Amino acid sequence: MKAVKVRPATGTDAAAIAVLVTQLGYSSDAAQVSARLRQLQDQPGVRALVAEQDGRVTGMVGLMAFPAFHRDGLHGYVTALVVHEAERGGGVGTALMAAAEAWFVEQGARRVSLTTALHREDSHVFYEKRGYTFTGKRFTKIL
């Protein structure tokens, strides 16, 4: 297994992140990802982390910590997690989730949620092995 370094994403990661989010099913190019990173970088409670192996970005996770109406304290939300398809199963996702959870704790979040598509059965197993439980369905409407 190659060593995994997790660090905050920067604008220079845009092309690699574009490849990753496209693999996740959200077709994106480097310019779009660069603009998204710029838009999110100054938002409190928002963080993007990347995993690096041998100087190459092999995964990313998007995070938000925010107050909720239905609970006291901050709530953590994983907005996206993706590992390059050539690196899956090698510990990159585990390293990203460990770093994500540590960041949420630093922010004061006591609970973390995420969503994953019904067809991503391998992802469901991945999350369950890390202590996440299935608690409901997600409904989406395009406005």
> Does residue 130 form part of some domain?
no
pLDDT reported for residue 117 = 83
pTM for the full model? 0.91
pLDDT reported for residue 90 = 93
CATH number at residue 87: 3.40.630.30
> Does residue 93 form part of some domain?
yes
Beta strands at 109-114 and 74-83: parallel, antiparallel or unpaired: parallel
pLDDT reported for residue 136 = 85
> Does residue 54 form part of some domain?
yes
The greatest distance separating any two alpha carbons of the chain, rounded to the nearest whole angstrom, comes to: 44
Q: What is the pLDDT of residues 69-110, one digit of tens each?
A: 888 889 999 999 999 999 999 999 999 999 999 999 999 998
* Residue 38 lies in domain: 5-115
> Does residue 70 form part of some domain?
yes
Distance of alpha carbon 122 from alpha carbon 71, whole angstroms: 30
Domain count, the chain: 1
pLDDT reported for residue 70 = 86
> Does residue 95 form part of some domain?
yes
**pLDDT lower than 50: segments of the chain:** none
pLDDT reported for residue 46 = 97
Across the beta sheet with 5-8, the strand order is: 5-8, 46-53, 56-67, 74-83, 109-114
Sole residue written with tokens 């994983």: 78
